[in-house]
Amino acid sequence: MIKLVKEVEAEEQAKKEQILKNKSKLQSKDFPLPLYQSEIYPHLYREEKWFNLFSKKWVNNLVSLFTRDKIIDSFIGDIYPASKVLQMGISFGDEIERVADQIGYQGRFDIIDVNNAQISFKQAALSDMYPQVNFFHYNAEDPLPEKYDTVICYMLLHELPIVSKMKVVNNALNSINEDGKVIFVDYGRPGMLHPLAYVVRMFNRLYQPFAEKLWDKEIAGFAEHDLDYNWKKTKFLGGMYQRVIVTHKGKDQLFY
């Protein structure tokens, strides 16, 4: 069916009005790059060449041992179209685009990051294709001004010192509405007999010194009021990766 020009214009106008209606209360803040990023990851998140490299799908698949798509597929259906979603931290690859596609133009997708360079790189990569996506220079440790249907914390916790982990986990839990959910995706503890367990341990100690805390402690252990929530955990690649979906008690079945 061929649409008239005026019909297409009317649809575009409706999209714009919906986006304005969903305007975020978040505002970017001016603050220095946290010490853990500037000291531990001095180049990775500040140079465009690394952003472009690690955003390539084949690189993402390789470093995740071809588990990345499976993990994203496992939670994308838990994000409802036309919903209000927050992501803490910019991710490499096309995870953000997939979430934006799932939400659609009728929804709103706010993304916060402590690194202005990462924001600039990702905004340029999206090329205004997703008007429902908003980027903010904001620290995930700081309280947020509104509630969301879904909060995503994708491959962020392993980069944070333990105190920051606690703040981010609690901030994420405090930022969902009564029927909302938090989706954590990160490294986990592989089984004792996992063939890569000790290789990964040594790599983490050399290059990702805060990641091993996710071996020692469940994500729920960083929450102040973990018993107020349901924690549904799924392991991938023998426990090397984990996806944890969190809801308020009484809203979903408790399963850990």
> What is the Cα–Cα distance from 34 to 56, expressed in whole angstroms?
26
Find where tokens 């959910």 sit: 181
Segments of the chain scoring below 50 in pLDDT: 255-256
pLDDT at res. 140: 97
User: Edge-to-edge, what's the strand order for the sheet holding 84-88?
Assistant: 133-137, 108-113, 84-88, 148-154, 176-187, 241-248, 229-236
Q: Which pLDDT does position 216 carry in this prediction?
A: 93
Looking at the domain assignment, is residue 256 inside a domain?
no
Residue 18 placed within a domain: yes
Q: Residue 117 sits in a domain of what CATH number?
A: 3.40.50.150
Residue 144 falls inside a structural domain: yes
Handedness of CA 110, 115, 118, 124 (dihedral sign): positive
Residue 76 lies in a domain: yes
Tokens at 196, concatenated? 């890569």
Q: By residue range, what is the domain housing residue 240?
A: 5-248
What is the pTM for the complete model shown?
0.89
- Enter the tokens of residue 158: 């392993």
Query: How many distinct structural domains can be found in the chain?
Result: 1
What confidence score (pLDDT) does residue 128 get?
82
Residue 81 lies in a domain: yes
What is residue 164's predicted lDDT score, i.e. its pLDDT? 97
DSSP state of 28: -
pLDDT of residue 191: 87
- Look at residue 26 and give its three-state secondary structure: coil
The angle, 0 to 180 degrees and rounded to 10, between the axes of the packed helices 116-126 and 95-103 is 60
What gap in Å lies between CA 244 and CA 228, rounded to an integer? 15
Q: Please report whether residue 255 resides in a domain.
A: no
- In 10 A of CB 205, how many CB atoms? 11
Express as a percent the part of the chain with pLDDT over 70. 92
User: Three-class SS of residue 31?
Assistant: coil
**Helices (H), ranges, 66-196:** 68-76, 95-103, 116-126, 162-173
Structure tokens at 104: 């659609």
